[in-house]
Structures are given as structure tokens and as C-alpha cells.
Amino acid sequence: MKRMIHINCDLGEGGEFDEELMPLISACNIACGGHAGNLESMHRTVRLAMENNVEIGAHPSYPDRKNFGRNHLEMSAEDLKLSIEGQVLSLKQIAESEGGKMAHIKLHGALYNDAAKDEKIARLIVECLHDLEDDFKIFVPLNSKISEFAMGKFDMVFEAFADRNYNENFSLVSRSEEHALITEKEEVFKHVFSIYNDRKIITHSGVEIDGKADTFCVHSDTPSSLEIIQFLHKKFAEKGIGVKNT
């Protein structure tokens, strides 16, 4: 049986390469109004995903379009739950109206990072999503608080980032630092293949930590994202590994 790799990408955020990226990925995480996106872009991206047999996911965030959802936002628990519910249900209803189905949820930006390390936020998000009483998976970071609370409640897909450097505690190197992003396609492949094949994350400091991922994210706004994913296809094909759904 051929080995496969699962690649996901955040789309519907106003990027210029959504149509070119979609056929090359396994799953898309669609911005649903918090950090980016609107009803028109959600419909368009859902249709594009369905045309390419790509898994449809909601990509909720802090409601902070000004900062693209990449800054922590102080909110009451109730307001945060209402915001997440509204974003997820918008995407779910749009997917269904187009004849599709929302398969997963992946948090965005600062909310994703906060849920990884903050017990209170992680618990709140799991409770909020569980209240929706629907059959979907959640994408979660490795060694995270949200994965602890989601255990037994959801099917979890453990995610690693193809284009981001890691610290030794499994957190991502902050985007405010110079080496947060991995933008050279050869380095991205080396990083991804180490995790996929050897289950080792080579951190920015050079230390290896154990890490197994079910899916790998390439951000659509990473410089040369299209070239990176095309290169990943080429290199994995050389090793007899296919990309799921392509």
C-alpha cells in the first residue's frame, strides 16, 4: 500500500493563489469572518474545495480583522464562545448549502496558540465545540492543552507546521522573531520529512524532539507557498509517497 501524506492549507483569506493551491492539498481551513473572510469568500472557497475533492474545514479565530487574528484578544468567556460558534456555524451552513459537508475545525492564529498553552481557553473551546453536537474532527497542535481536553470527545488530527520553526517546548517561534518562518522550499521539505518519516522535529536551536503529525500545514500567505507545495509533491513522489486526495 502506497504511503500517503496529508497537507492542509488556510484559504479564503484573500490570498491570490487559492485556485492554484487547492488542487495540491488534502484539506482546506476556510476563514469564516473572524480574522478574514465573508459570506462570498466562504461560498467561493467551499465550491473550489468540492471541485477538487478537498476536505472542508472551518478556521475560526479571535474576532480581530485588524490584526488578522494574530494577537491575543481579551474577551469574556461568553463572548468568545458566541464568536466561535457563529463563525463555525456560518461555514457549516454554507458548506451544506453548496451540497458539501464541514469535516473539521482548526483554530487560527493567536487563538490556536492560546488553546495550545492556556488551560482555561483550551477547556472553553472544547466545551464550545462539543456543544455544537456535530460530527467533525479537530486539528490540534502537538503536546497541547486543547488535545488533552479534547481526548475522548473528538477525533483529533495532530498537526505540524511545514513552514514554521519550533521551540523545544513544541511552541512555534514567534512571528516577531527573524527565523519564525521557513521559506526555502528545500528546508521546508527537510523539516517535513524529518517529522513524517523519523517522527523528529528539529527545533530552531538544533535540538531534536519527538513529534508525530497526521497533517502538515503550509500557510497560503507564506512567501512562495505555491512553489513550496509543488516542491513537496515532487520530493515526496520521488520517495514513493503520495499526497492524500490528489
Read off the CATH number of the domain in which 168 is found. Answer: 3.20.20.370
Average pLDDT over residues 146-153: 96
What is the Cα–Cα distance from 4 to 196, expressed in whole angstroms?
Answer: 10
Residue 137 in grid coordinates: 474532527
Q: Integer distance in angstroms from the first to the last C-alpha of the chain?
A: 16
Burial of 23 (0-12, 13-18, 19+ CB in 10 A): middle
pLDDT digits (tens, 9 = 90+) for 84-105: 999 999 999 999 999 999 999 9
pLDDT digits (tens, 9 = 90+) for 154-171: 999 999 999 999 999 999
Helix (H) or strand (E) holding 80: helix 77-97
pLDDT exceeds 70 at position 246: no
If DSSP codes are grouped into helix, strand and coil, which group holds residue 144? coil
State phi, psi for 154 to the nearest 5 degrees.
-135, 155
Q: Which residues contact 206 (CB under 8 A, 6 or more apart)?
A: none
Number of domains making up the chain? 1
Number of H helices, E strands in the chain: 8, 11
- Percent of the chain whose pLDDT exceeds 70: 100
The pLDDT, as a whole number, for residue 223 is 86
Q: Which domain holds residue 129?
A: 3-243
